[in-house]
Amino acid sequence: MTFPITRLRRFRATPALRALVRETTLEPGDLVAPLFVCHGEKTRRPIASMPGHAQLSVDEAVREARELAELGVGGVILFGLPSKKDALGSEAYAKDGIVPWALRAMKAAVPDLILWADVCLCEYTDHGHCGVLHGERVDNDRTLPLLARAAVAYAQAGADIVAPSDMMDGRVGAIRRALDEASLADTPIVSYAAKYASAFYGPFREAADSAPQFGDRRAYQMDPANGEEALREVALDLEEGADMVMVKPALPYLDVIRSVKDQFGVPVAAYNVSGEFAMLKAAAERGWLDGERAALEALTAIRRAGADVIITYHAKEIAPLLGRSRA
Ligand code: PBG
């Protein structure tokens, strides 16, 4: 059937007709908002490269969490700024560290909000790498027990989900075993399975004060050129017990999101990272594009590619726009 019998424009004529045939949905519950928590009180330290975001003391983070819960978002993911950094990233797995403290406060104040805890050492190590060092290399196997301890500390403090982002081999299995041994068999793991060594993490490293002090992360994060390897990473993480897998960043890796969804049919998250957010904000500030429309389009595209859940810095501004009928 071709023209003039077939006219695809028929269903584009009005907002209602467009809504009727819309294939992809985007709801507040699909979005997870990252929060950066720091020590102190009544503190909001704005992050220059991420307009609208700040490092928040626990009281402020709780207030933010309450607002996000009212908007119906699918959760918050916490990143911590420790009071001091050391070679082993001790505050990452201290039971009284910043993230467990924030988790306890949020769980008490906003019990229905899903609390995700990012599990990694990079915010806590003085060298800024995601694991402990042996010379200038990150020692994979010595890092695993520390990540496992962090995951247990967060789950005990009230995290509903733990999300390892370090890219060490075998960490999902190590975390699963440690959670099970600590009677936390019901705590799900969302693994950052296909996490690329990306230039788009720039603003985050300012936000979380986690830039590596020497070298880069290419010896543990993935080469942006590789798609098949992403599927191997996902397969291994699922075998080790991951309940959901993540692709990160999102927009430059939509093909990877699609392949993971098609091949494995498991819950998939995508991380719309700091640089993706910052570039859109910068262009919108200059009036070079309509920031709201661009964010909606980007988030819809990530869902269309196959992501069930999107971690995004746009969550708070975009959630209120969803649900109202879109032209
Ligand atoms: C750290 C971590 C990073 C992000 C999430 N967890 C940064 C990195 O690997 O350097 C990036 C998030 C973003 O850019 O928004 N383990």
192 lines ligand 1 (CB under 6 A): no
Determine the straight-line distance between the first and last CA of the chain, rounded to whole angstroms. 29
Residue closest by Cα to atom 12 of ligand 1: 273
Q: Which amino acid is residue 279, in one-letter code?
A: M
150, 166, 319 from 143: Cα distances, Å? 11, 9, 37
- Show the tokens assigned to 267: 């819950």
| Alpha helices (runs of H) in 125-253, residue ranges in sequence order | 140-157, 171-181, 202-207, 228-240
- Residue 197 vs residues 149, 220, 224, 242, 248: alpha-carbon distances, Å: 25, 8, 7, 21, 9
pTM: 0.97
Report domain extents, the chain.
Answer: 23-321
Nearest-atom index, ligand 1, CA of 277:
15
pLDDT of residue 156: 98
The answer for residues whose C-beta is within 8 angstroms of residue 157's C-beta and 6 or more apart is 95, 99, 100, 101, 103, 104, 107
User: Is the CB of 204 inside a 6 Å radius of any atom of ligand 1?
Assistant: yes
pLDDT truncated to tens, each residue of the chain (327 aa)? 899 999 999 999 999 999 999 999 999 999 999 999 999 999 999 999 999 999 999 999 999 999 999 999 999 999 999 999 999 999 999 999 999 999 999 999 999 999 999 999 999 999 999 999 999 999 999 999 999 999 999 999 999 999 999 999 999 999 999 999 999 999 999 999 999 999 999 999 889 999 999 999 999 999 999 999 999 999 999 999 999 999 999 999 999 999 999 999 999 999 999 999 999 999 999 999 999 999 999 999 999 999 999 999 999 999 999 975 444
Protein residue whose Cα sits closest to atom 10 of ligand 1: 201
Residue type, 203: P
How many angstroms is it from 38 CA to the middle of ligand 1? 17
* 95 is a catalytic site residue: no
Catalytic residue selected from 85, 248, 281, 316: 248
Query: What's the rounded Cα separation, in Å, for the pair 327 and 325?
Result: 7
Contacts of 84 (CB under 8 A, 6+ apart): 91
User: Is the CB of residue 120 below 6 angstroms from any atom belonging to ligand 1?
Assistant: yes
Q: Determine the pLDDT at residue 325.
A: 46
Atom of ligand 1 lying closest to residue 210 CA: 10
Whole-angstrom distance, CA of residue 189 vs CA of residue 161: 6
195 is catalytic: yes
Cβ partners under 8 Å of residue 46, min gap 6 = 53, 54
The hierarchical CATH code for the domain 23-321 is 3.20.20.70
The reported pLDDT for the residue numbered 324 is: 54
Ligand 1 centroid to residue 197 C-alpha, Å: 10
Distance between CA 106 and CA 103 in Å, rounded? 5
Atom of ligand 1 nearest to the CA of 311: 15
Asked if residue 88 lies in contact with residue 133, where contact means CB atoms within 8 angstroms, the answer is no
Per DSSP, the three-state class of 38 is strand
pLDDT of residue 327: 46
Give the C-alpha separation, 27 to 326, whole Å.
Answer: 12
Give the rounded distance of the alpha carbon of 241 from its chain centre: 19
